[in-house]
Structure 1
Amino acid sequence: MALAEYGIYLSYNNQEEGFQIPIMPGKIEISSGGKGSTYDVSKLGEINVIKDPALKEYSFESFFPASPMPFTSGTVFEPSFYKDLIEKWMGTKRPIRFIFVGSTFEINTPASIEQFDWSEQNGAVGDIFFSLKLKEYKFYSAQKVVVQQTTATRAGSNTAVAKKTTRADSRSKPKTYTLKPGDNLISVARKVLGDDSKWRAIQTANGLTDAQLRALPVGKVLKMPT
């Protein structure tokens, strides 16, 4: 999915699935704020404790057109394609990638789909009108606590030590990939495995000859190397 123009892009699982919003909304609402708390302190009065900022929220409204229009952006699909994909992503309970490319600023962040409402309206048969609300997502993983016995303190005392863990990986590990228009093994290796150089491993896993690489058919299912 090339990001070469002004627009809104939604994708899932490291761009394995995704699309550009075909009709740009009239506005995008971005809300953010702090999570400070106030307390009354004796002989000092009210104090404000500043905490980390709250996660940003993004919301906008538009529609998926049933027929081509002169002002659509990117590749345009049937309205049900967008609706079904968004609902499928919500069902996975995993974040998507939200990208907004504007004239003065850009947004590129993982986000959760908080709300997706859609409807059909009289006078616009086939069009799907929708509103979408996203919330910034931060990756995290639980820390394992290991209890260690101490010898320098009194008997029976313990010390809890947090064991460091790596950041959680939101991507599932695909076993296959279906070729799309414009794909080649290098782009598939980059998109699915995150490394261009692994295209040879894909070729080997599928028993492809160099001659076959020149004419890979759209829709062919490739096995991904483990």
Structure 2
Amino acid sequence: MIEFWLTFNNGAEKLRLPVPPSEYSKVTGINTQTVNINDSGEINQIGKRKLDTLSISSYFPANPNDPIAHYRGYPTPARCLNMISKWRESGRPIRLIISGGTLNINQPMVIESFTVSQKKGPEDVYFDMELKEYRFFNLEVVNEKDNPIGKYVGESRPSERTIPKTYTIVSGDTLYVIAKKFYGDGNKWKELKQRNNIVDERKLKVGQVIKL
């Protein structure tokens, strides 16, 4: 069963789509530049990769027992819309997690556009969501006179972040990966193992909740 999750603030808030999209598409690419050389004509210079983009469409069911929904106890359409609206207005990225299929994704994203509509009949809310990859980086000012803006010093997560109390295991997780994600140091996986009384760290289960 394929699961679609939208999470915010390192998993402190999360929304599992009640009705997974019937299909989704992810677009990847690289930047290229055409240069004209007098003796040789045009050549194509290959640059760095573009940000990934992804489109999903589905609906939030108003019926608490919608036969198409993949789980019960899902939030109302109004609650779903409020969560997504709050995340978009925060100016911070969300994380898209797709697990259980061939194309698994666990990636920070920005919701670039979110279109909602209603059709005749039930008060279900249909939506189209366009997401673009978010890349973490830091700007470091080297010299305010020579470089007032700063320079790119590489990808990293923001140094100030809120670590949630718990985390739900998704496909592909290991204690090392989780420690690296939340503490910035994968070698702290043993602390997670001890804190959660895990006997065999190789047998984590998708959906298992651990303490951070």
User: 1:173 maps to which residue?
Assistant: 162
Q: Secondary structure at the match of 1:58?
A: strand
How far 1:196 moved relative to its partner? 4.7
Deviations 1:47-100 (Å, cap 9, x if unpaired)? 111001111101111100001223312441111111110010000111100011
Match for residue 81 of structure 2 among 58, 80, 83: 83
Question: What count of residue pairs does the alignment treat as equivalent?
Answer: 169
CA distance in 1, matches of 2:41, 2:25: 36
Match for residue 141 of structure 1 among 120, 138, 156: 138
CA distance in 2, matches of 1:54, 1:165: 16
User: 2:103 maps to which residue?
Assistant: 105
Match for residue 31 of structure 2 among 26, 30, 35: 35
Q: If the length of structure 1 is used for normalisation, what is the TM-score?
A: 0.65
Amino acid at match of 1:21: L
Deviations 1:191-220 (Å, cap 9, x if unpaired)? xx7675998xxxxxxxxxxxxxxxxxxxxx
Q: If the length of structure 2 is used for normalisation, what is the TM-score?
A: 0.69
Is 1:70–2:67 an aligned residue pair? Answer: yes
Amino acid at match of 1:98: L
Unpaired runs of at least 5, structure 1: 148-157, 180-189, 200-226
The question of whether the paired residues in 2 share the 8 Å contact of 1:14 and 1:171 is answered with no
User: 1:45 maps to which residue?
Assistant: 41
Amino acid at match of 2:95: R
Amino acid at match of 2:141: K
User: 1:182 maps to which residue?
Assistant: none
CA distance in 2, matches of 1:162, 1:83: 37
Is 1:115–2:113 an aligned residue pair? Answer: yes
Runs of 4+ in 1 over 2 A off after TM superposition: 161-168, 170-174, 193-199
User: 1:19 maps to which residue?
Assistant: 15
How far 1:105 moved relative to its partner? 2.4
CA distance in 2, matches of 1:53, 1:77: 37
RMSD (Å), alpha carbons? 3.2
How far 1:103 moved relative to its partner? 2.4
User: 1:55 maps to which residue?
Assistant: 51
The question of whether the paired residues in 2 share the 8 Å contact of 1:13 and 1:170 is answered with no
Unpaired runs of at least 5, structure 2: 167-178, 184-190, 196-212
How far 1:164 moved relative to its partner? 5.6
Taking every aligned residue pair, what percent have the same amino acid on both sides? 29
How far 1:162 moved relative to its partner? 6.7
